[in-house]
Amino acid sequence: MKRSRPSRGRAVAAALLLVTLSACASQVDAGVSQEASAPGFLWGLWHGFVFPFAFIGSLFDPDIAVYAVPNRGGWYDFGFFLGVTVLGGGSWFSSRSCK
């Protein structure tokens, strides 16, 4: 059975659609703070790591948040992403083959 490869045109169209949709993303200015006390990369890393526990806690207590606002912006977001994916297990669990 011959597998058909996706055409290059489809890949370019998908990439163009992804770039176009990402251009619509924005961050509210009130959510970003440059003060020294605002959470930065390391706090984002920690908040990403404890995300599963914070999410469960937020279901029962409205004072628990899973994401700090205001924060320092992109670096906090990057730390949060790394905390959720890398420290939280990420794709390691799905990479193990079932035998």
Domain assignment of residue 11, yes or no = no
pLDDT at 48: 92
Residue of 27, 6, 10 whose CA lies nearest to 18: 10
Domain assignment of residue 97, yes or no = no
Domain assignment of residue 9, yes or no = no
Q: What is the mean pLDDT of residues 56-63?
A: 93
Domain assignment of residue 32, yes or no = no
The whole-model pTM stands at 0.62
pLDDT per residue over 67-83, tens digit each? 888 888 889 999 999 99
Domain residues for the domain of 57 are 49-91
* pLDDT higher than 70, residue 90: no
Distances (CA, A) of 40 to 7, 12, 21, 36, 58: 42, 35, 27, 9, 22
pLDDT per residue over 14-55, tens digit each? 888 888 887 777 666 667 777 778 888 999 999 999 998 999
Domain count, the chain: 1
